[in-house]
Structure formats: C-alpha cells, structure tokens
C-alpha cells in the first residue's frame, strides 16, 4: 500500500513467499485465501500492495495472455495491486530441504535469465500506471559457485541480458522495472563492499557495458545510464545485520555511488550477544532443516563465517566460535527479543526511522518467510494476523 506520509511514492507490502505454492493456480489460490483478511486488518479502505513471489514454473504460465487477464481481474476483486516480484527462489520454497539449492539456477545459467524475463513480463502487465516495478533476485550465485572459473564473466553477461530485456519492456510499454540483486551471507554478493566492487569493477567496466550497448542499440554512455536505471541492489536488513553492517550507512553508500536500491526488505535476524553452552539448545530450535541459517561470529580476531547453524554450533563445542553470533533466520519484526535469544530488531527500527526522514527506496517489502517453521511460541495468531501485525508495526514506525 502507498505510504502517503512519505515522499517519493513509497509502497509497502509483504512478500507472498510465506505462502506455500509453486504452481500458478496454487499461488493464485493462496492470494484468495490470505489477502482478504490481511487487507481488512491494514488497508480496509485503500488498495493493498502485494509483493508477489513467483516460481520458475509459475512465471512461465502466468505470463500467458489469458492468465494475465484473469490475474488482473483477481487483483481488482481483491482490491490489491502488485508492484514488486520476488524471483529469487526458482523451485520449491516450503516443506522440503531448500538450503543452498535456493540459489540455483544462478546468474550463470539461461534458466535464470528466462525466469527473470517471465517475471518481468508478468509485472509489466499488472503494474499500475505511474508506479515503478522491481524484481528481487539471487545475488549472482552461492559463494563457491561464484568463485568458479569464468563465473564472474558469466554472471555479468546474464545480468546484461536481463537489463536489455527490461529496457525493451520500458520502450514498449512505458513501465519501468528494475532488477535488484539481493546480497546474502555466504553468497557471491554478501556485503555492501562486495556489491560496490562488483558494480564498479565489473558491471560498469567497458566489457559489460559494450555487451549491453550492443543489446539495446546504445553507445557505452547510454548503456551505463540504462544499467543504472534497471539494475540495483535489494537491501535486506536481516542480511545486513548478520554481516554486522549499519543498514542505513550501507544504503547511503550504495546511493552515493549511483547504485539504485529498487527495494528494501524489512526483516530482522537472530542475535546472541555472547554465545554460551546454556544457549545451544535454544539456538538449535531454529535449525528447521529447510532453510540455510548462515551464522557469522564476531570474536576477538574479527568475523568468522559458517555456512549453516549446525556448523557454528559444532565449532563452538570444539572451543571455537566464541563471541557474538548473528544468525540468518528471519524472525518476527515486532519482537525485540525471542526469549533466550536476541534479535536485530534495533537495526530494523533505526532503519525505519531513517526511511521516515529520507526514503532511500520507493519499495519496502516485509520478508518474514519463516512463520511455518518458527517455534510455536513466536506465532501470535493466524498467519494472516501475524502478517497484518508486522505491516501495522512497520507503518507505525514509518509514519510515527
């Protein structure tokens, strides 16, 4: 929904990746099942924005003209609109082991390019006039894959093809859509430093720009302008907090470098100020077996990264991993702590306060996709009620 009190046509939503469903019919059914109750709670008298999660399978079907017509009708009946798409997970995202497979196919592959093109076609067809669109995506690749021979060049080439597609869409429809790489711990792009370096040292260099220029019929200068217009960073506050970044400073660094932030994901991570033996059981309750819970430990010698929570716990039992822990597990936004375990709630609150003073992005998306696997004590009601409570919390923090 639009946050009228903020400058810059700011839209706030939640991401439907919390609702299980991989096929297009299942995704549409989930909207009918959940959106009416959420809208009644937070936006009864105005349109509700939706952050639509599409799978690869669903995007290929949804872009068909007859499906788009039916979807537009459904959105009208729901009193809702779509301004952003989560095209990060290609395959199943609930009820099965996701972990590192969530990054595949990555930006080295034709499948990722096609999935993004399908998602862009859907968004262009339903995006309200006068509203920009965004698509969040994998941050290049999982770290080991991003370090493979030729990976950086392949990732850059794939992104240039995606940008060219978005340029073509805007020329044809007038709808501006930006692709947003979402840095995440243990990925090719995981920190703001790495994101800045990738843009400055790879994407904004002659080889990548010439590739894009050839695809859109522009000179190198025109290609750079289109790159900056249609490609940027989706900054997830949970991810930034796990990396011990100051999210507000990170956002300002990106914007100062001329890198767009098409979307900010509003989220919070687990935090353990000082790991101890007595906390092992409490921490491991969040090891759901579905999602990857990258853990970064800050000790006397700096930051140590563990790909998954059990790896960090094993290291701790061996006498290592001493200090503060930040764990990539999206936890409820409105909780300042989780009982025995802390939260990076304070980072979220300070970021919302900064966005109230100066919006850094026109798209704000709540990204707590973990309700189905969180400990029961953290769930305060129905899923729709919990989502509505998160939206209301963010609205209050944004507008005072």
Residue 5 lies in a domain: no
The two structure tokens encoding residue 76: 């009208």
- 337 and 322, same domain (yes or no): no
pLDDT at 95 over 80: no
| Alpha-carbon span 46 to 96, nearest angstrom | 36
- 315 and 335, same domain (yes or no): no
Which range is least confidently modeled, 3-7, 133-137, 219-223, 349-353? 3-7
Contact (CB, 8 A) for 262 and 298: no
The two structure tokens encoding residue 82: 């779509």
Distances (CA, A) of 387 to 35, 39, 119, 160, 270: 10, 10, 24, 36, 19
Residue 6 lies in a domain: no
| DSSP β-ladder status, 80-86 and 342-343 | unpaired
Cα 363 → chain centroid? 11
Report which DSSP code applies to 47.
P
Last residue of a domain, one of 285, 304, 329: 329
Residue 81 lies in a domain: yes
Q: What is the pLDDT of residue 290?
A: 86
322: burial class by Cβ within 10 Å (0-12, 13-18, 19+)? middle
| Alpha-carbon span 98 to 380, nearest angstrom | 25
Residue ranges with strand state E in 92-199: 133-137, 177-181
- 265 and 280, same domain (yes or no): no
Residue 371 lies in a domain: yes
- 323 and 229, same domain (yes or no): no
- 136 and 282, same domain (yes or no): no
Last residue of a domain, one of 300, 329, 358: 329
Query: Residue 306 is part of which domain span?
Result: 270-329
Of the candidates 78, 28, 86, the residue with the CA atom closest to the CA atom of residue 54: 86
Residue 338 lies in a domain: yes
Q: What's this model's pTM, rounded to 2 decimal places?
A: 0.96
- 178 and 254, same domain (yes or no): yes
Please compute the mean of the pLDDT values over residues 101-123 and round it to a whole number. Answer: 97
Listed in sequence order, the residues at least 6 apart from 83 whose beta carbon sits closer than 8 Å to its beta carbon are: 11, 13, 49, 50, 51, 127, 128, 131, 132, 133, 134, 363
Q: What is the pLDDT of residues 301-350, one digit of tens each?
A: 999 999 999 999 999 999 999 999 999 999 999 998 888 899 999 999 99
Listed in sequence order, the residues at least 6 apart from 193 whose beta carbon sits closer than 8 Å to its beta carbon are: none
For position 25, which CATH number holds?
A: 3.20.20.150
- 306 and 352, same domain (yes or no): no
Residue 113 lies in a domain: yes
Residue 4 lies in a domain: no
| Alpha-carbon span 244 to 241, nearest angstrom | 5
For helices 151-173 and 220-230, the axis angle rounded to 10 degrees is: 90
Higher pLDDT, 288 or 380: 288
- 280 and 385, same domain (yes or no): no
Which range is least confidently modeled, 36-40, 49-53, 198-202, 283-287? 283-287
Query: Phi, psi (5° rounding) for residue 231?
Result: -140, 135
Last residue of a domain, one of 329, 350, 378: 329
Q: What is the pLDDT of residue 21?
A: 86
| DSSP β-ladder status, 302-306 and 295-299 | antiparallel
Residue 282 lies in a domain: yes
pLDDT at 400 over 80: no
Domain count of the chain?
A: 2
- 57 and 115, same domain (yes or no): yes
- 365 and 284, same domain (yes or no): no
Q: What is the pLDDT of residues 30-62, one digit of tens each?
A: 999 999 999 999 999 999 999 999 999 999 999
- 45 and 160, same domain (yes or no): yes
Q: What is the pLDDT of residue 99?
A: 84
Please compute the mean of the pLDDT values over residues 139-145 and round it to a whole number. Answer: 97
The two structure tokens encoding residue 71: 């979807």
- 252 and 319, same domain (yes or no): no
Banded model confidence at residue 221, pLDDT cuts 50, 70, 90: very high
pLDDT at 103 over 90: yes
């Amino acid at each position: 929904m639009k946050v009228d009190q903020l400058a810059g046509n700011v839209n706030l939503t939640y991401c439907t990746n919390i609702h299980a469903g991989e096929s297009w019919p299942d995704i549409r059914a989930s909207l009918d099942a959940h959106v009416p109750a959420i809208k009644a709670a937070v936006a009864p008298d105005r349109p509700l924005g939706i952050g639509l999660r599409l799978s690869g399978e669903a995007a290929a079907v949804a872009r068909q003209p007859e499906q788009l017509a039916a979807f537009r009708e459904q959105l009208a009946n729901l009193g809702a609109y779509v301004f952003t798409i989560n095209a990060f997970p290609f395959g199943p995202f609930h009820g099965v082991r996701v972990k590192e497979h969530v990054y595949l196919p990555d930006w080295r592959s034709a499948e990722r390019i096609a999935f993004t093109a399908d998602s862009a076609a859907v968004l262009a067809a339903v995006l309200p006039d006068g509203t920009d669109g965004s698509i969040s995506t994998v941050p290049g690749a999982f770290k080991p894959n991003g370090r493979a021979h030729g990976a950086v060049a392949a990732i850059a080439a794939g992104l240039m093809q995606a940008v060219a597609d978005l340029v073509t869409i805007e020329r044809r429809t007038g709808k501006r859509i930006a692709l947003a790489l979402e840095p995440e711990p243990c990925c090719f792009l995981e920190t703001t430093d790495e994101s800045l370096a990738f843009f400055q040292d790879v994407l904004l260099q002659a080889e990548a720009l010439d590739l894009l220029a050839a695809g859109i019929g522009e000179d190198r200068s025109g290609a750079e302008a289109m790159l900056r217009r249609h490609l940027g960073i989706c900054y997830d506050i949970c991810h930034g907090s796990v990396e011990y970044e100051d999210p507000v400073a990170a956002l300002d660094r990106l914007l100062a470098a001329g890198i767009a932030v098409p979307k900010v994901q509003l989220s919070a991570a687990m935090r353990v100020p000082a790991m101890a033996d007595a906390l092992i059981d409490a921490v491991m309750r969040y090891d759901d077996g579905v999602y990857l819970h990258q853990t970064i430990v800050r000790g006397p010698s700096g930051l140590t990264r563990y790909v998954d929570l059990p790896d960090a716990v094993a290291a701790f039992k061996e006498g290592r991993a001493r200090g503060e822990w930040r764990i990539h597990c999206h936890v409820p936004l409105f909780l300042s702590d989780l009982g025995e375990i802390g939260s990076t709630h304070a980072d979220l609150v300070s970021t919302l306060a900064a966005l109230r003073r100066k919006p850094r992005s026109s798209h704000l998306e709540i990204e707590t996709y973990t309700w189905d696997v969180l400990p029961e004590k953290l769930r305060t009601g129905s899923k729709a009620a919990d989502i509505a409570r998160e939206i209301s919390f963010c609205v209050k923090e944004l507008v005072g």
